[in-house]
Amino acid sequence: MRDGGGTTKGIAVRGVSKVFDAAAAAVRALDDVSVTIHENEFFTLLGPSGCGKTTLLRLIAGFESPSAGEILLDGAPLAHLPPFRRPVNTVFQNYALFPHMSVMENVAFGLEMLGKPKREIEKTVNDMLRLVRMEELRDRATNKISGGQQQRVALARALAPRPKVLLLDEPLSALDLKLRKEMQIELKRLQKDTGITFVFVTHDQEEALTMSDRVAVMSQGKILQVGSPREIYEHPAKRFVADFIGETNYLEAEIVASGHGQAQIRLSSGAQIAASLPEGGRLTGKVTVVVRPEHASLTLDAAKATFSGRLENIVYFGTDTHYHVRLADGSLFTVRMQNARGHEETDRINAEVGVILAENAAQVLRD
């Protein structure tokens, strides 16, 4: 068991709640959150604004203390440690660079506070500035560099003391698309090179999927699902997760038989298909099933179809095309198919078409 023993490497968050006593009403920013973040992992917290991502980071960093529960680092409780005794550094949402210090002084700050010898500080600072490609601007004031450069300085400053854990709070949100893509790659490279555990916060699903080893999807102070990007995308356990990441079709169904994480379900059209079951979900009765649009295709051969409907709309997207099919129960089902060359589209709007689901395309939701 990974969470069980006290010797687990990495961060263990156990039953943590955080209640802010704001003036009038109490805000429950985190609600009984438990999660384990492994050593050397690129772990992402993904969720909409206000779901508690920053709060969780602040608890790990030690700027706030939990109302309930505890956080362990490498098996040791962090509760009694003030932020300056935790081997954890933060890249703040707004960078929080010291305006009265130069780029170099900012990067050196943590090392100085740790009382490292001058020689070592100088060397590490140089290495860090090279790593983030900021050597030329080392003597600049931090308010006289661009947003992207500030972000890189913030990164270098947080990495310089070689923390065990680096917390990054939406560090890329202020950057334009191109720089953002570049920094995504650079961040991933840095994480691999340094072997430091990254806890990365974003509300950009694409960013989360492309960069992370594992993703935790959060909503309203709770972690809804933790898993690899593929798991999260292909096997969402909850409607919110499915909705938040990518496009989704929902089908009502009934479980006919189940076992070993798999189930036989009957759709409202009468067709019976295999579907994956979520962990801890129900094993009988009515359920909602999600199907990603790209896991379905269209056919004119009624015999092959899982179910059928009326083709209502065709939207061309360049690399692929979306087909909106109105099903018998009135719901809309989207099919996404890649555009191949020589595959000429005939206008079949309003025609009766069949939908084929790929194998393992259906995922039963827990809620």
Partner 1 sequence: MAALDLEPDPDRRPLTIASTAERGAIRRRWFLTAPALLVLILAASGPLLIVLAYSFLKAGAYGGVVWEFSGEAWFKVVFQRDIFDGTMSYADAHLSILWRSIKLSFLTTILAVALGFPTAYFIATRPPRTRNLWMFLITIPFWTNLLIRTFAIMEVIRNEGIVNTVLMSLGIIDEPIQMMYTNFAIALGMVYVYLPLMVLPIYASMEKLDFRLVEAGYDLYATRIRVFTRVIIPLVKPGIVAGFILVFIPALGAYVTPRILGGGKNMMLGNLIELQFGQGRNWPLGAALSITLLAIVMIALIVYVRGTRRAAGDHG
Ligand X SMILES: Nc1ncnc2c1ncn2[C@@H]1O[C@H](COP(=O)(O)OP(=O)(O)OP(=O)(O)O)[C@@H](O)[C@H]1O
Which residues would be at the binding site for partner 1 (CB under 8 A)? 23, 61-63, 82-85, 88-90, 92, 94, 96-102, 109-110, 113-114, 139-141, 157-158, 161
Q: Does 29 contact ligand X by CB under 6 A?
A: yes
Of 55, 212, 249, 297, which one interacts with ligand X (CB under 6 A)?
55
Based on its alpha-carbon atoms, the radius of gyration of the chain, rounded to whole angstroms, reads: 25
Closest approach of Mg ion to the CB of residue 10, in Å: 22
Is there binding between residue 1 and ligand X (CB under 6 A)? no
Nearer to Mg ion, 167 or 255 (CB): 167
Residue 134: CB minimum distance to partner 1, A: 15
Widest distance between CA atoms in the chain = 77
Dihedral over Cα of 196, 199, 200, 206: its sign: positive
- Among residues 240, 232, 180, the alpha carbon closest in space to that of 207 is found at 180
How many CB atoms neighbour CB 286 within 10 A? Answer: 11
Judged by beta carbon, residue 115 or residue 318, the one nearer partner 1 is: 115
Choose the binding region for ligand X from 5-13, 50-58, 318-326, 332-340 (rule: CB under 6 A).
Answer: 50-58
Closest CA to 281 of 324, 330, 245, 235: 235
CB of 100 to partner 1, least distance (A): 5
**Binds 63, which of partner 1, Mg ion, ligand X, none (CB < 5 to 8 A, cut-off by type)?**
partner 1
20 binds, among partner 1, ligand X, Mg ion, none (CB under 5 to 8 A by kind): ligand X
Nearer to ligand X among residue 128 and residue 245 (C-beta): 245
What amino acid is encoded at 85 in this protein? R
Residue type, 111: L
Instruction: Say whether residue 53 binds ligand X (CB under 6 A).
Output: yes
Is the Cβ of residue 1 or residue 22 nearer to ligand X in the bound state?
22
The 11-21 sheet, strands edge to edge? 26-37, 11-21, 68-73, 76-77
Nearer to partner 1, 96 or 274 (CB): 96
Residue 99 interacting entry, from Mg ion, partner 1, ligand X, none, C-beta within 5 to 8 Å by type: partner 1
Binding to ligand X (CB under 6 A) within 177-206 occurs at: 203
Q: Are the C-beta atoms of 275 and 267 separated by less than 8 Å? A: no
Which helix (H) or strand (E) segment holds residue 352: the answer is strand 352-357
Distance CA 198, CA 187 (A): 9
Binding segment toward ligand X, per CB under 6 A, in 21-29, 138-146, 207-215, 241-249: 21-29
Cβ proximity to Mg ion: between 54 and 205 the closer is 54
113 binds, among partner 1, Mg ion, ligand X, none (CB under 5 to 8 A by kind): partner 1
Q: Which does 102 bind (CB under 5 to 8 A by kind): Mg ion, partner 1, ligand X, none?
A: partner 1
Binds ligand X by CB under 6 A, chosen from 10, 52, 229, 281 = 52
Nearest to 132 by CA among 107, 111, 113: 107
Three-state secondary structure readout of 19-77:
EEECCCCEEEEEEEEEEEECCCCEEEEECCCCCCHHHHHHHHHCCCCCCEEEEEECCEE
Taking the C-alpha atoms of residue 157 and residue 137, their distance in angstroms, rounded to an integer, is: 14
Question: How far apart are the two ends of the chain, measured CA to CA in Å?
Answer: 27
Region of 47-55, 122-130, 226-234, 275-283 interacting with ligand X (CB under 6 A): 47-55
Question: Nearest distance from residue 37's CB to ligand X, in Å?
Answer: 17
Give, as ranges, the residues between 202 and 241 that touch ligand X (CB under 6 A): 203
Distance CA 60, CA 86 (A): 9
CA distance 337 to 317: 10
Assigned token pair, 11: 């961060």
User: Residue 51 binds what, of partner 1, ligand X, Mg ion, none (CB under 5 to 8 Å, by partner type)?
Assistant: ligand X
Q: Which is nearer to ligand X, 25 or 177 (CB)?
A: 25
Residues that bind ligand X (CB under 6 A): 20, 22, 27, 29, 47, 49-55, 203
